[in-house]
Amino acid sequence: ETYVSSLYLEDIALVNAKIGELKPENKKRIGFFGDSITCGYGNTERHGEGFTMEHEEFDRAYPFLIAQKLDMDYMVVARSGVSVSRQIWIDQLFDEIYDTVDMFNKCPVDDRLDYAIIALGTNDNGAYALAPEEEKPIALKKFVDDYLSLVGRIIKDNPGVSVIIAYNFVELLEDIKGAFKEIVECASKKYKNSIKLVELTPNAEGAAGHPYLDGHLVFAKEIIKVIK
């Protein structure tokens, strides 16, 4: 749908009106960086083979549930099929869409994040599984290096941000699980920020092997526990 249409607010006209003062809520701000799971892809159709927009409901996906429960303002940067270091489903890596809206227009975020939830790596896991055996050591190192680069970019843009790296939304290979532990260990040594790792209870009961909505409820509870 992103490529079919775009809607922009060009102007607001006030007729015989006064502009009142709106006090800022001063809510904490949380950002989510992810892929189709973060968007809620297939979360309302249990064991569905295909996917349609009717089966993707963001207000039942874990980012919205977390922001709502913690009463935080939120930002989401996500694209279905996106990887950190090895392409498999689409022709862009996450680094290329990091500061975009709908993967189209540059839109720098004015308000700094208090928390950043990085939920990437599921598609890298699929690409890694398909890689020739002789390429896997290099692919694994590149995944670690590129993920660390993303963590550094988020911290640079949001000084003082607390980072939570969430993984295993669906069951991952042991090599990739080990890579996540290495990423957090390296990042914690390099940065003064709080950097936590949370291994989630996997769920693939939604459409096209994605998490079903009760999986998103569990993800939200597990990540909220780490935030608190």
d(CA 204, CA 30): 26
CB atoms within 10 A of CB 135: 12
To the nearest 10°, report the CA torsion of 127, 130, 132, 136: 40
Which has the closest alpha carbon to 141: 91, 84, 80? Answer: 84
The closest of 84, 36, 82, 27 to 62, measured between CA atoms, is 36
Give 61's contacts (C-beta < 8 A, 6+ positions apart): 37, 38, 39, 40, 43, 216
The predicted structure's pLDDT at residue 226: 97
What would the two tokens of residue 181 be? 């532990």
Q: Which residues pair with 101 in a beta bridge?
A: 105
* Average pLDDT per block of 10 residues along the chain, 228 residues long: 62 88 86 94 88 84 97 92 91 85 55 93 95 95 97 94 97 97 97 97 94 97 97
Q: Which two tokens stand for residue 18?
A: 């006064």
**SS3 of residue 218 by DSSP:** helix
Dist. CA 37–CA 56, nearest whole Å: 10
Q: CA 54, 57, 62 angle in degrees (round to 5)?
A: 155
| Angle 84-1-223 from CA coordinates, rounded to 5° | 45
